[in-house]
Amino acid sequence: MPSTARRNLALFTLALGGFGIGTTEFVTMGLLPQIAEELVPGFGSDPTGGIAQAGWFVTAYALGVVVGAPVTAVITARLSQRRLVLILAAALALANLASALMPDFALTALARFVAGLPHGAYFGVASLLAARLMGPGRQGAGVAIALSGLTVANVVGVPLGTWLGQEAGWRWAYAAVAAIFVVTLVLALRTIPAVPGNPDRHPMKELSAFRNPRLWLMLAVGAIGFGGFFAVYSYIAEVATRTAGLSEPVVPWVLATLGVGMVIGNVLGGWASDRDLARTVIIGFTSMSTAMALYALLGGSGLLLFPLVFAIGITSSSLIPSIQARIIDIAGEAELLGAALNHAAFNVGNSLGAWLGGLVIAGGLGYLAPGWVGVALALAGGVLALVSIRLDRSRPGATEPEAQAVRA
């Protein structure tokens, strides 16, 4: 085992990569008006339609995650986890630089798709490495640390990236993210301990996890349930300025408020999932749907918007460590694939939520209407989670750890 100082620096490095991913994924939502103004023809005459079309940049990134997570996990099954982190950090740096440089709508959308390809595999291997570094019995805490960069990004990276994009141009936000991954790569070379690969692993062995219906059910929980979060998050900038009447410079503060909630929720979710994973999931979806209903009803108030987005942040992110830990357990030997697929599922939710949110906005229902989409999807995710827990309880021959995982 590495020294305590090196272990902590390695954990920081893994979180820094997550910070870069969280920034590049979510800063797009905060900069949709600026991106649409430059890349969507006719934006000036139809800003609502232009914003809905710019939502495809969110969708393109999400689709990249969905495609990249399983493919990368399968073809890198034999690699050491350290080498995989290095490869993924380099790929993320190049893809985000390309996002900053592409000249038109189609090529920028393609660059966003490519930037999404390493996303799921990075969080998958980072979760596994962090859990290994934290030691037995602290898987939830390890996952929470690996994902902490994702949540901190919503407090620091996304608001700063949004501010940078508003002041200097949206392309600089992606260039800054590329620089973050260069730093991650350098630190990873120096701090992450060598974890030998397994030359006996075979891609078909990884793919065997797909035969497990319990895995598919939990992936559906993440995809559908988190679709609700992304239906809301994708259009928060428009709610703040066009519905709540706040000025554009206030948007980063709205995003930061949501991000603070996500940081707190991630820590609480990691702590709670190590104690009662099933209850954490059920309470999380119930409280998330409640927060979104209040947002849909009251989010038009500039004063109330801040506590409402804080509540959405804390309730949604409290679910992430528990869902990740549960999928890793269910995946068994194909743990990297399972961990990566969890983020693919979240980004199916990203794509689904952004699309459905854009539909209700384009249909004339207003910028708060995605909140009701969020309620419906969060409730559906909670029902699927409850079904998954009940199925596990009824399985003959379930192991003691599995029994603990579903104890409510």
Domains within the chain, CATH numbers bracketed: 4-405 (1.20.1250.20)
Whether the pLDDT of residue 404 is over 50: the answer is no
CA 161 to chain centre: 17
Averaged pLDDT for residues 103-112: 91
398 vs 116, residue with greater confidence: 116
Q: Give the residue among 68, 53, 83 at the shortest CA–CA distance from 21.
A: 68
- pLDDT at position 407: 37
Cα–Cα distance measured from residue 54 to residue 43, given in angstroms and rounded to the nearest whole number: 10
Averaged pLDDT for residues 290-309: 94
Averaged pLDDT for residues 133-155: 73
| 93-97, 147-151, 377-381: least confident range | 147-151
338 vs 22, residue with greater confidence: 22
Averaged pLDDT for residues 261-277: 81
Q: Is the pTM of this model over 0.95?
A: no
Please report, as a single letter, which amino acid is at residue 381: G
Whether the pLDDT of residue 281 is over 60: the answer is yes
401 vs 282, residue with greater confidence: 282
pLDDT tens digits, 315-361: 998 888 888 777 777 776 677 777 777 778 887 887 788 889 988 98
Cα–Cα distance measured from residue 191 to residue 83, given in angstroms and rounded to the nearest whole number: 12
- pLDDT at position 139: 62
Whether the pLDDT of residue 19 is over 90: the answer is yes
Averaged pLDDT for residues 299-307: 92
pLDDT tens digits, 30-83: 788 888 888 887 777 777 777 777 878 888 888 888 888 888 877 877 788 888
- pLDDT at position 270: 77
> How many residues would you count in the chain?
408
> b/e string for 37-68 if b means 16 or more Cβ within 10 A?
bebbeebeeebebbbbbbbbbbbbbbbbbbbb
Residues 6+ apart with CB under 8 A from 56: 109
- pLDDT at position 405: 41
Which range has the top average pLDDT, 67-76, 174-183, 210-219? 174-183
Exposed (0-12), middle (13-18) or buried (19+): which is 241, by Cβ within 10 Å? middle
